[in-house]
Amino acid sequence: MAIIRVEHLTHHYSPGTPFEKTAIDDVSLEIEEGELVGVIGHTGSGKSTLIQHLNGLLKSDSGKVYINNTDIFESKETLQKIRFQVGLVFQYPEYQLFEETVYKDIAFGPTNMGLNPLQIREAVERAVSAVEIPSSMLEKSPFELSGGQKRRVAIAGVIAMNPRVLILDEPTAGLDPKGRDTILALIQKYHQQEHNTVLLVSHSMEDVAKYATKVLVMNRSRLYAYEDVDSIFTRAAEIEKIGLSVPQITKVFHQLAELGYPVNSNTYRVQEASEQLLRLLKKKGEQEC
Amino acid sequence: MLKDISIGQFFPGKSIVHRLDPRIKILLVFGFIITLFIVRNLVSFGLIILFLAVTIFTAKIPVKTVLKSLKPILPLILFTAILNIFFIDGHVLFRWGWIRITEDGIRLAVLMVIRIVCLITGASLLTYTTSPIALTDAIERLLSPLKKIHFPVHEMAMMMTIALRFIPTLIEETDKIMSAQKARGADLETGGLMKRAKALVPILIPLFVSAFRRAEELALAMECRCYRGGEGRTRMKQLKLTASDWVIAVFVTAFYIVGILMNLWIPALF
Amino acid sequence: MNKLIQFKQVSFEYNHESEEEEPVAVLHDITLSIEEGDFVAVLGHNGSGKSTLAKHINAILQPTEGVVWVDGIDTSKEELIFEIRQQVGMVFQNPDNQLVATVVEEDVAFALENLGVESTEIRERVDASLQQVGMYEFREHSPHQLSGGQKQRVAIAGVLAMQPKCIVLDEPTAMLDPQGRREVLKTLLSLNREKGTTVVFITHFMDEAVQANRVVVVDGGQIIADDTPKAVFSDVEQLKKVGLDVPQVTELAYELRKAGIDFPNGILSVEECVAELQKALGG
């Protein structure tokens, strides 16, 4: 079943002024429940605008957004409910922390949902374990934590609402490689445990290739592609043409395929690449013997 | 939503109004305001409106923009007008129950409305045609005699520049924080005064924290670029008064004086 | 070649406000010299001490032990601090928090105004700096109209105007999108090659580090590697151990070697990788 359904969605910024700009143009899309979707595109391609429609922070000029078959702009009440079903983690989410303690900050969302204290505690504990924050940290001020910890607390604040769809806008921006790997691994683990839908906005094709099941490419306000990670890189040349980078491994394998070697040009992970090459080298060794 | 606010909007241009020395411009706007409050006859007001119209036309500022700048103060204008029309004693023109309208009331209302409209238009013409940086620069120089009494003129100008530089950044940031907290279910739009005030906490705290962080980083960046206060500082753009600046200043001042003197011969509106 | 920056047995510790806590050592016994015209990439995870190292180069921090010389000046000499800062320009991570003025060209002029340079000369140097970073046509824009990459280029122009011998950049690309990162790197490479400006470039992105002519890896406040990119990236295991990335092709080469294939080490680019694979696989 499609958890997210977008139909002919169009959005203009500053309509009716000389600065009018089409941010998204006639986007239609269905995302199945349980996918981990990598969302990729240039700055200004419309990807941020698109994800802000999915929980109703922005309202479209035309077109519809359905979450779980409910039109999100149907009424004000639906909208408020949708906000809890579609959790949105913004870029640099650690800059939204405001409470005295980590616990209280994570509890902000569940409290707004109107849960009772027991449910709130449960929600916070689940979220905290999902992002692997030790419970000894709960009573600390969020401002005392390190950068990576702050970010995990901020993500926990959204996870605590137990959304069916979790959207993260560049959750690894500004982190070092270790911090980036930690966050992405946590998101993957969370996705596997909860079986819910996760949208991950990223600039890195390599990260998307490593973690996502589907890739959504936005280009010039339009939906350029939405397909399996396993097939998207057959279109590597096309993707490079619109100015997005593909993983180095994919480039290598495309070139090898062009040179006539029997390799799968849709390779994007180091592990698969080395396995394929080792097989080839072994074959070559056998022939020579 | 917040992005629509345009404080001291500036329309770049090369007109004679734009090129006029910002110090002269500020002083002339002051003169204009003083004139506005001394003048009380219709002919002078006609001249003043004509003067504004000519300036707007020369500066190529769209009339629509000027009218838009008046929109936020419309309630003030209406309030002043109503207050004057109904509550000034004098020759009664119309009476209905306790409501009465006097001739003096109408006269004063017209006078006040013209004054407010001209005042706002004149002052916004200054910001429309002068870049914020030229404006702060001019203020710094106009106030420089105050340095003698240890008034921190340079520091004040620096603060104004930094404030202007960071207003758009902070507005954008406020927008972002609001969206983020809304995504966590924060309700910013409903409820009584207390509830709304409380709902601002999740927005104001992150905003303050970020402003402090920005301030700290900016201070470091300024130090790295050898900033050490106003002492021994030079400027890239130096303000120099040209002959045409002087000519315009003299003409406009003369015009103000004529407008004021007309009070002596033409009967006052009030 | 002339040694522009020299660290001699530099250690640095932060003093805690409360006296019970031990001071936290951030740098340990660092000895390093950077030659004029070098393009040095500094790698290390957050908290490894690389930012602290950078801040020693323009005397924001002074060593607790040891000496840092910049162009022959000992950075602990307070009275010469502005000489040092003119020689070493500093660019920071957040593009929004280092521009002071409301107009691009005024911002680039800021340092020169502080130094009391005469106005016609400021004008010339501002224009030249803006041209070098390719931002001249944006000189009358306001910073908030620019993209992140453009803001960083303005920040670079702002230090270039001081005509420094060296520019130190503390993760200038961390907050940028790929487009912005490319712009900044291209600008730095052209400055280094055409003007001979020494560049010390702190980054997390390996694809940027491979473009330097020297890579310094910092971990736990110590320098654990200092060599050409090729040599440094050959040691995939060590880099991974200290929480750093290696380019995919380098990792592939490493995996192949691990599996017993005779494959060269330190492959950095796709082209190299394809060429080597061709050799290995045969025609």
Mean pLDDT of chain C: 92
Residue C262 lies in a domain: no
Q: What is the pLDDT of residues C38-75, one digit of tens each?
A: 999 999 988 899 999 999 999 999 999 999 999 999 99
CATH number of the domain enclosing C155: 3.40.50.300
Q: Tell me the mean pLDDT in the region A268-287.
A: 90
pLDDT tier for residue A9 given thresholds of 50, 70 and 90: very high
CB contact under 8 A, C281 and A43: no
CB contact under 8 A, C114 and B132: no
Answer yes or no: do B226 and B244 share one domain.
no
Residues of A in contact with B184 (CB under 8 A): 83, 96, 108-109, 112, 157-158, 161
Residue B2 lies in a domain: no
pTM summary value:
0.89
Structure tokens that stand for B259 in this block: 């407008």
Number of domains in chain B: 2
Q: What is the pLDDT of residues A149-179, one digit of tens each?
A: 999 999 999 999 999 999 999 999 999 999 9
Separation between Cα atoms, residue C55 and residue C64, nearest integer Å: 13
How far is the first Cα of chain C from the last one, in angstroms, to the nearest whole number? Answer: 45
Q: State how far residue A58 is from chain C, nearest Cα, in angstroms.
A: 22
- Chain A CB within 8 Å of residue C46 CB: yes
Q: Which of A91, A248, A203 is nearest to C274 (CA)?
A: A248
Answer yes or no: do B126 and B21 share one domain.
yes
Residues of C in contact with B209 (CB under 8 A): none
Residue C22 lies in a domain: yes
pLDDT tier for residue C22 given thresholds of 50, 70 and 90: low
pLDDT at B3: 45
pLDDT by residue, tens only, chain B of 270 residues: 444 444 457 788 889 999 999 999 999 999 999 999 999 888 899 999 999 999 999 999 888 888 887 888 888 889 988 888 887 777 777 777 777 788 888 888 888 899 999 999 999 899 889 888 888 889 999 998 998 898 899 999 999 999 989 988 999 999 999 999 999 988 877 778 888 888 899 999 999 999 999 999 999 999 999 999 888 899 998 888 999 999 999 999 999 999 999 888 887 776
pLDDT at A60: 85
pLDDT at A118: 96
Answer yes or no: do B15 and B122 share one domain.
yes
CB contact under 8 A, C270 and A274: no
Q: Tell me the mean pLDDT in the region C20-41.
A: 87
Answer yes or no: do B203 and B256 share one domain.
no
Structure tokens that stand for C220 in this block: 């736990």
Helices in chain C by DSSP H: which ranges? 50-57, 81-87, 104-114, 119-132, 148-160, 178-190, 206-209, 229-234, 236-241, 248-258, 270-281
User: Domain A2-230 belongs to what architecture?
Assistant: 3-Layer(aba) Sandwich (3.40)
CATH 3.40.50.300 residue ranges of chain A are: 2-230
- Comparing C6 with B67, which gets the higher pLDDT? C6
Residue B164 lies in a domain: yes
Q: State how far residue C157 is from chain B, nearest Cα, in angstroms.
A: 12
| CB-nearest partner of C113 from B165, B168, B234 | B234
pLDDT at A90: 95
Q: Which domain holds residue C218?
A: 3-246
Q: Tell me the mean pLDDT in the region C220-244.
A: 93
Answer yes or no: do B267 and B211 share one domain.
no
Q: Which of C74, C78, C68, C72 is nearest to C9 (CA)?
A: C68
pLDDT at C283: 64
Residue of B nearest to A79 (CA): B185
Q: Which helix or strand (DSSP H or E) is residue B112 part of?
A: helix B103-129
Residue B67 lies in a domain: yes
Answer yes or no: do B48 and B95 share one domain.
yes
Number of domains in chain C: 1
pLDDT tops 60 at residue C189: yes
pLDDT tops 70 at residue C20: no
- Chain C CB within 8 Å of residue B168 CB: yes
Answer yes or no: do B200 and B81 share one domain.
no
Cα angle for residues B77, B83, B89 (degrees, 5° grid) = 140
pLDDT at B1: 40
Q: Which domain holds residue B65?
A: 8-130+240-270
pLDDT tops 70 at residue A289: no
Answer yes or no: do B159 and B212 share one domain.
yes
